[in-house]
Amino acid sequence: MARVVTRDWAVPLIHFENVGLRYGMGPEILRDLTFDIPRRSFQFLTGPSGAGKTTLLRLLFLSLKPTRGLIRMFDRNISSIPREEFPMLRRRVGIVFQDFRLLDHLTTYENVALPLRVRGKEESSYRSDVLELLKWVGLGERLNVLPPVLSGGEKQRAAIARALIDRPEILLADEPTGNVDPPMARRLLNLFMELNRLGTAVVIATHDLSLMDQVEARRMILSQGRLDIYE
Amino acid sequence: MRVRPTGPIVPSANVSGNALMCVIAIMSFLACLTLGGVSMVRATAQSWQSQISREITIQIKPDDNLDMERALADARDLALTFSGTTGGTIIDRAATARLLEPWLGGGLDLNELPVPRLVVVTIDESNPPDFAAMRKALTETIPQAFLDDHRTWVDRLVAMASTTTMIGTGVLVLVFSAMVLTVVFATRGALSGNRHIVEVLHFVGAEASFVAAEFQKHFLRISLKGAGAGGLLAALSFALASFWQSQTLATPETDQATALFGTFAIGYTGYLGIFAIIVVIALLTTLTARLTVMRTIYEIDLIRSDPGRTDTFQG
């Protein structure tokens, strides 16, 4: 069945209101977060180590439930969405992990095609799209290579390509330049900006100040569980 | 550049199936043996029952005022007047003496002992006579006569066959339960060993049913191989036993075995039953694996997403 996505451009992709989160009986990791992720926006999520960036990304990816507060994604209150519908919502979000999370027994091509495969699409229907995207991220010659053979930068690009293959409405990237040298970091950043120009909202979690200085973009700074936003 | 043929999302090597395959083969073998054993006992009981119910016996107790030979003849004639009887034989003195020889010894003079005499009446199994009416008529004509339609023995045989069937069904249920539990453990083990794959599938938006399908493919293959091997071994065992029995006819061992168990042949229905067990085991294994995967994924998802649960899966 075709996915019907209605887009009201005024409605943000994601809306947080007084969101708080604590693990177990511990202190609140995130406190009173209220913000929007507008469509087609580009932002950095930053803060010191342990500030809760990864936790916030997990909230954004529906992988964690808030202890309190309201989260709306794609104009729906997530607390009222049945669990069975979560995979469908996750398909509208692309995520890139710091540790890539590529499957070592699948080739670069198969890893990138994985999201389409789990959607039940025939290989013949997506082969050209995957090949084109791999060329775009500079992995056109590494199609049949297994991840253990890829360099850090190649793995990162493969992980990004996997997150982008089904044209998500928002891309979340956790320390996407954490494992690469500065020139590669610059190339990856250009990739994200190009993607943003094509209409995808981008959230990059990083504590790399030099990376952020390269782009004039919204900054969301997490500190001691609170969020400050600099437009 | 050419792309290699797409590999499986869950590699076969990641599902350690050899031990599970052996367990399923053993369970399948036991299930098939049980099924074959039960069908053999039922067939033997049916054959006994059929032999017993082909004839009835009229027993006449001796009495001072009774002319035994005449009473025997009257009883036979009376029995033959009922429709459903096909013949009547009076067990003569010599035959009666032979019957009693194991207990009373040879050279027996029946005139000196008050020994009851028998008339064996053969009946049409498909259209048996009215036993109650025959019993009434016999008692009115010859008060010393007693009609034995062997109902007690038939009832006992039927009860024995039913008990055997119940025991067999119980064993099958136990075997299937043990197998389901084994598959549950194996599936959980496989999931645990492939957690990284499940996580990635989760993040790329896979539904639980898709992940379950990826795992159940492996379990279907493992169970088909295991159940097939076990079923084949059981079928071979029956075929060999049947062959041995046919080759050693009329030896004391075979006679004893045949008297106890009947023939070892299980017929085409038995082999169909073995095939059915293979199919049932394969389906049961696949379904168990699917449900276990879906349940485990649901649990993982639930725990992972709950910040109040700091026990596991938080990362």
Interface confidence (ipTM) of the complex = 0.83
pLDDT of residue A61 exceeding 50: yes
What is residue B314's predicted lDDT score, i.e. its pLDDT? 42
Number of A to B CB contacts under 8 A, please give it: 92
User: Which pLDDT band, with edges at 50, 70 and 90, does A8 fall under?
Assistant: low
What is residue B15's predicted lDDT score, i.e. its pLDDT? 66
User: Which of A43-52, A143-152, A213-222, B12-21 is predicted least confidently?
Assistant: B12-21
Q: Which of A114, A132, A149, A174 would you mutate first to test chain B, the one with the most B CBs within 10 A?
A: A114
CB pair distance less than 8 Å for A106 and B301: no
CB pair distance less than 8 Å for B310 and A24: yes
User: Which pLDDT band, with edges at 50, 70 and 90, does B309 fall under?
Assistant: low
What value does the mean pLDDT of chain B take?
Answer: 82
User: Which pLDDT band, with edges at 50, 70 and 90, does B261 fall under?
Assistant: low
pLDDT of residue A2 exceeding 50: no
What is residue A6's predicted lDDT score, i.e. its pLDDT? 52
Q: How far is B219 from chain A (nearest CA, A)?
A: 20
**Are the beta carbons of A41 and A201 closer than 8 angstroms?**
yes
Give the residue-averaged pLDDT of A202-224. 87
| Percent with pLDDT over 70 in chain B | 92
CB contacts, 8 Å: A143 with chain B: 1, 3
CB contacts, 8 Å: B9 with chain A: 103, 106, 114, 117
| Percent with pLDDT over 70 in chain A | 96
Nearest CA in chain A to B210: A118
pLDDT of residue B35 exceeding 50: yes
Strands (E) located in chain A: 14-22, 28-37, 42-46, 68-73, 76-77, 93-96, 170-174, 201-205, 218-223, 226-230
Residues 181-220 of B with CB under 8 A from A: 196-197, 199-207, 210
Residues 85-104 of A with CB under 8 A from B: 86-88, 90-91, 95, 97, 101-103
pLDDT of residue B6 exceeding 90: no
CB pair distance less than 8 Å for B206 and A87: yes
pLDDT of residue A201 exceeding 90: yes
Q: And the tokens for B54?
A: 């082909």
Query: For residue range B155-196, what is the model confidence (pLDDT) as tens digits?
Result: 787 788 788 888 888 888 888 888 888 888 887 787 778 888
User: Which pLDDT band, with edges at 50, 70 and 90, does A114 fall under?
Assistant: very high
Nearest CA in chain A to B310: A24
Is B5 an interface residue toward A (CB < 8 Å)?
no
Q: How far is B293 from chain A (nearest CA, A)?
A: 15
Strands (E) located in chain B: 55-60, 85-90, 117-123, 145-148
- Rounded alpha-carbon distances, angstroms, from residue A44 to A12, A144, A181, B67: 17, 33, 19, 120
Is B148 an interface residue toward A (CB < 8 Å)?
no
pLDDT of residue B293 exceeding 50: yes
Q: Which of A71-85, A107-121, B140-154 has the highest mean pLDDT?
A: A107-121
Is A142 an interface residue toward B (CB < 8 Å)?
no
pLDDT of residue A178 exceeding 80: no
Sheet holding A93-96, edge to edge: A93-96, A170-174, A201-205, A42-46, A218-223, A226-230
The model's pTM = 0.70
Cα–Cα distance for residue pair B174/A30, rounded to 1 Å:
52
What is residue B45's predicted lDDT score, i.e. its pLDDT? 77
Task: Kindly give, in sequence order, each residue whose CB lies less than 8 Å from that of residue A174, ignoring residues fewer than 6 positions away.
Answer: A53, A54, A57, A95, A96, A97, A98, A205
**Are the beta carbons of A44 and A204 closer than 8 angstroms?**
yes
